[in-house]
């Protein structure tokens, strides 16, 4: 995207199946463009993210929230509201001090009375005149400070060019611009006080200030008018939400939306979000990029194939988890299949993006060899990884922590849980945070649990074991919920003892679980369980063999006292839930349990925690599409993940693809 933006004056629509994936790509683009152009030359209006306000607050870092459409509009309105409140406070100071000297901000009160004896009579004693003059000067200084803060914050939000030119086309920003011009002209661009300004405003308005009391009066009179001009358009309610109760206030929001979309060169949206009112009337996109394309269903991907789209680039990884389809009938009809998968089936050419920019080479070694046929190469960036904690053997890059003496049980819902393993994980995290406290306080730690009961247990232990600041560094989720995300340290809790379910042995799920870490990957599992299936294709015993060969296995024995205590707790639980799912669950029950755990993060549309596989994808698909019948498709389903492919199709070659796609949907709905 940076290359396209650098070489072409074009508008790009960047889509993803989920908000999480979309926001992470947006954050990376902003970071790269700031580095590429420099902080002073980067235009914040170049990037805009479409999404619900609350979700953007959750997903975006503080420094990136200004790129959310809804949050940016709110921030702009907040700047205006702050300016108005500061002006009102400045006027109160002037009025209170001048109450006995002519009243308010009028010709007599604001300037402290008239001239000579006559002024002494009107303004009271010389002492009161001096007090009124000082109050007026203080009020004018407060006005200037408020304007300076407003201009500084607005330049960071929308850029200097938009602030000076385009924004004034939307009421009440035209009135604000004129007011700022007056203040800058009369006070000077550097706040030169009574020396006056240059007489030349940023907008070229000819207003001269001589630093006399009349210039102060002009500033205060303008400050008194502005709140009356702004309040009908911008106001916050008692809940500090932007008030949209009148047509004028809604028009301000609509105008800002249109302006930000018009100025943006990179627009980010979820696939389903492209049907929002913001984009329906938007100008044509020369390029549409779909990230996590292998995780998006065909129905979702066809959302963006309209007449206004010239080229579509699909980026994804078919080697990882695909979209989740809960209905057996829909799964049979292949509703979960991605458009990328269809294109690969049709033998369209693709480009392999073979360099990974996330994992330490030791972490990437297993997946590269066993999932990508050795094609996955390490960038110079990851080859240089050498954090200071590597010097401690306990915190090496890759470890299989093989424990013995633990047992897993079932909660009342039938989900697997292993309390002793959870305690071992918490101890490891405590040791790691203590050892690295002098190196970094921003390290992120992710705990991946295949089972929701183990996930809830670890979340509870983290809340009771770690301080609030440390809790923010640690996140817990299922394998499916972590797809696309990355953490500095990943800890995988395999939980089960004695046997492994087919669900956990899914090749794509294994690949996802083992490719989330940047610096450290620690897998906790029972020694006997995974030693029995050494080298078994597709299972974590396969990974255990890899670690044993390279000397990455660390053995941990659980004390008999801990085992006895745990067994007693288990016995109490079994006695209290004789009719529950406490033991011996078959594979089909396990799969149902895992689907529930997997879908826990998928309950709301477009809100899965799925991010990019890596900075460099393994492949891209570029398609030129004349989807004349795309309106027949409706957004639905949800997303899968990404190998990384690229097929370039001409308008003619897609005709057969389009026809077969339509026929498939017609027959499915019939």
State pLDDT tens for residues 357-401.
999 999 999 999 989 988 889 999 999 999 999 999 999 999 999
> Which of 344, 331, 377 has the alpha carbon at shortest distance from 358?
377
First and final C-alpha spacing in the chain: 41
> Is 625 a residue whose pLDDT tops 90?
no
Q: CA-CA distance, 311 to 316, in Å (whole number)?
A: 17
> Is 266 a residue whose pLDDT tops 70?
yes
pLDDT of amino acid 661: 39
Q: What is the DSSP letter of 68?
A: B
Q: What is the pLDDT of residues 475-518, one digit of tens each?
A: 999 888 888 788 999 999 988 887 777 677 788 889 999 999 99
Contact (CB, 8 A) for 417 and 457: yes
Contact (CB, 8 A) for 487 and 516: yes
When pLDDT is cut at 50, 70 and 90, the band that residue 1 belongs to is: confident
> Is 428 a residue whose pLDDT tops 60?
yes
Q: What is the pLDDT of residues 598-616, one digit of tens each?
A: 333 333 333 333 333 333 3
Q: CA-CA distance, 72 to 260, in Å (whole number)?
A: 9
When pLDDT is cut at 50, 70 and 90, the band that residue 275 belongs to is: confident
Contact (CB, 8 A) for 21 and 611: yes
> Is 190 a residue whose pLDDT tops 60?
no
> Is 440 a residue whose pLDDT tops 50?
yes
More confident call, 163 vs 519? 519
Q: What is the pLDDT of residues 444-463, one digit of tens each?
A: 999 999 888 899 999 999 99
pLDDT of amino acid 574: 54
- CA angle 57/291/610 to nearest 5° reads 50
pLDDT of amino acid 438: 79
C-alpha of 90 from chain center:
39
**Mean pLDDT of the 541-566 span:** 79
pLDDT averaged over every residue in the chain: 76
**Mean pLDDT of the 315-324 span:** 86
Cβ–Cβ contacts within 10 Å for residue 236, how many?
13
Please give the structure tokens belonging to residue 522. Answer: 């620690």
Percent of the chain at pLDDT > 90 equals 36
What is the helix (H) or strand (E) element at residue 301, kind and residue range? helix 298-301
Q: What is the pLDDT of residues 154-188, one digit of tens each?
A: 999 998 888 878 888 899 999 999 999 999 888 65
Q: CA-CA distance, 76 to 70, in Å (whole number)?
A: 10
Cβ neighbours of residue 532 under 8 Å, at least 6 residues apart? 541
pLDDT of amino acid 530: 81
Phi, psi (deg, nearest 5) at residue 492: -105, 120
Contact (CB, 8 A) for 117 and 128: no
Q: CA-CA distance, 125 to 420, in Å (whole number)?
A: 83
Q: To which residue do tokens 């650098």 refer?
A: 6
When pLDDT is cut at 50, 70 and 90, the band that residue 216 belongs to is: confident
Phi, psi (deg, nearest 5) at residue 160: -70, -40
Q: What is the pLDDT of residues 104-118, one digit of tens each?
A: 444 444 444 444 444
More confident call, 438 vs 294? 294
Question: Residue ranges of the domains in the chain?
Answer: 1-70+252-353, 362-567
pLDDT of amino acid 635: 35
Alpha helices, DSSP H only, in 124-172?
126-158, 160-164
Buried b / exposed e across 510-528, counting CB within 10 Å, b at 16+?
bbbbbbbbbbbbbbbbbbe
Q: CA-CA distance, 630 to 617, in Å (whole number)?
A: 27
When pLDDT is cut at 50, 70 and 90, the band that residue 4 belongs to is: confident
Q: To 10 degrees, what angle do helices 213-230 and 69-97 make?
A: 130
Please give the structure tokens belonging to residue 285. Answer: 């996109």
Strand, coil or helix: 447: strand
Q: Which of 321-325, 445-449, 517-521, 528-532 has the lowest mean pLDDT?
A: 528-532
> Is 232 a residue whose pLDDT tops 90?
yes
pLDDT of amino acid 132: 80
Q: What is the pLDDT of residues 74-85, one digit of tens each?
A: 999 999 999 999
Q: What is the pLDDT of residues 123-142, one digit of tens each?
A: 456 777 778 888 888 898 99
Q: To which residue do tokens 């078994």 refer?
A: 536
pLDDT of amino acid 103: 41
Fold of 1-70+252-353: Rossmann fold (3.40.50)
Q: Which of 4-13, 88-97, 289-298, 559-568 has the lowest mean pLDDT?
A: 559-568
pLDDT of amino acid 99: 56
**Mean pLDDT of the 622-637 span:** 35
Fold of 362-567: Rossmann fold (3.40.50)
């Amino acid at each position: 995207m940076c290359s396209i933006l650098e070489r072409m004056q074009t508008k790009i629509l960047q889509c993803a199946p989920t908000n999480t994936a979309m926001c992470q790509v947006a954050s990376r683009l902003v970071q790269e463009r700031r580095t590429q152009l420099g902080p002073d030359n980067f235009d914040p209006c170049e990037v805009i993210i479409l999404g619900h306000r609350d979700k953007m607050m959750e997903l975006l870092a503080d420094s990136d929230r200004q790129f959310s459409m809804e949050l940016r509009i709110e921030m702009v309105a907040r700047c205006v509201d702050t300016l108005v409140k500061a002006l009102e406070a400045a006027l109160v100071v002037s009025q209170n001090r001048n109450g006995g000297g002519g009243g308010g901000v009028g010709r007599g009160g604001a300037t402290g009375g008239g001239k000579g004896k006559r002024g002494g009579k009107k303004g009271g004693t010389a002492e009161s005149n001096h007090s009124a003059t000082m109050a007026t000067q203080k009020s004018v200084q407060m006005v200037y400070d408020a304007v300076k803060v407003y201009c500084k914050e607005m330049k960071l939000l929308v850029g200097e060019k938009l602030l000076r030119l385009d924004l004034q086309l939307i009421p009440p920003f035209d009135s604000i611009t004129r007011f700022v011009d007056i203040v800058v002209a009369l006070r000077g661009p550097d706040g030169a006080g009574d020396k006056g300004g240059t007489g030349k405003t940023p907008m070229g308005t000819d207003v001269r200030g001589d630093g006399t009391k009349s210039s102060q009066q002009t500033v205060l009179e303008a400050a008194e008018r502005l709140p009356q001009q702004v309040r009908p358009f911008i106001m916050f309610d008692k809940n500090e939400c932007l008030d949209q109760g009148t047509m004028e206030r809604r028009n301000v929001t609509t105008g800002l939306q249109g302006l930000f979309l018009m100025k943006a060169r990179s627009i980010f949206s979820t696939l389903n979000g492209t049907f929002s009112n913001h984009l329906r009337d938007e100008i044509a996109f020369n390029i549409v990029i779909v990230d996590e394309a292998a995780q998006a269903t065909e129905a979702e991907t066809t959302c963006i194939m309209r007449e206004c789209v010239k080229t579509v680039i699909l980026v994804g990884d078919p080697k990882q988890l695909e979209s989740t389809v809960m209905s057996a009938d829909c799964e049979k009809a292949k509703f979960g299949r991605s458009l990328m998968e269809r294109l690969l089936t049709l033998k369209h050419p693709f480009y392999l993006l073979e360099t990974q920019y996330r994992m330490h080479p030791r972490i990437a070694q297993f997946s590269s060899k066993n999932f990508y046929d050795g094609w996955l190469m390490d960038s110079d960036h990851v080859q240089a990884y050498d954090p200071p904690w590597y010097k401690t053997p306990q915190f090496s890059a890759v470890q299989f922590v093989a424990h013995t003496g633990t047992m897993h049980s079932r909660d009342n819902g039938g989900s697997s849980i292993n309390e002793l393993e959870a305690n071992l994980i918490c101890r490891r995290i405590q040791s790691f945070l203590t050892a690295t406290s002098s190196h970094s306080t921003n390290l992120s730690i992710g705990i991946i649990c295949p089972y929701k009961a183990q996930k809830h247990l670890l979340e509870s232990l983290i809340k009771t074991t770690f301080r609030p600041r440390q809790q923010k560094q640690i996140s817990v989720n299922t394998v499916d919920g972590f797809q696309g995300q990355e953490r500095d340290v990943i800890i995988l809790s395999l939980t089960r003892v004695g046997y492994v379910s087919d669900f956990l042995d899914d090749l794509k799920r294994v690949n996802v679980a083992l490719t989330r870490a940047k610096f450290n990957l620690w897998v906790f599992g029972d020694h006997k369980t995974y030693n029995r299936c050494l080298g078994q294709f597709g299972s974590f015993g396969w990974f255990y063999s890899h670690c044993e060969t390279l000397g990455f296995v660390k053995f941990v024995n659980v004390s008999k006292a801990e085992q006895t205590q745990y067994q007693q707790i288990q016995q109490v639980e079994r006695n209290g839930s004789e009719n529950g799912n406490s033991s011996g669950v078959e594979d089909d029950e396990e799969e149902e349990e895992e689907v529930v755990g997997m879908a826990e993060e998928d309950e709301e549309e477009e809100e899965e925690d799925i991010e990019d596989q890596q900075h460099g994808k393994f492949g891209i698909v570029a398609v030129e599409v004349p989807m004349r019948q795309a309106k027949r498709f409706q957004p639905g389903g949800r997303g899968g993940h990404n190998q990384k492919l690229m097929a370039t199709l001409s308008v003619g070659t897609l005709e057969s693809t389009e026809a077969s796609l339509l026929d498939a949907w017609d027959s499915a709905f019939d």
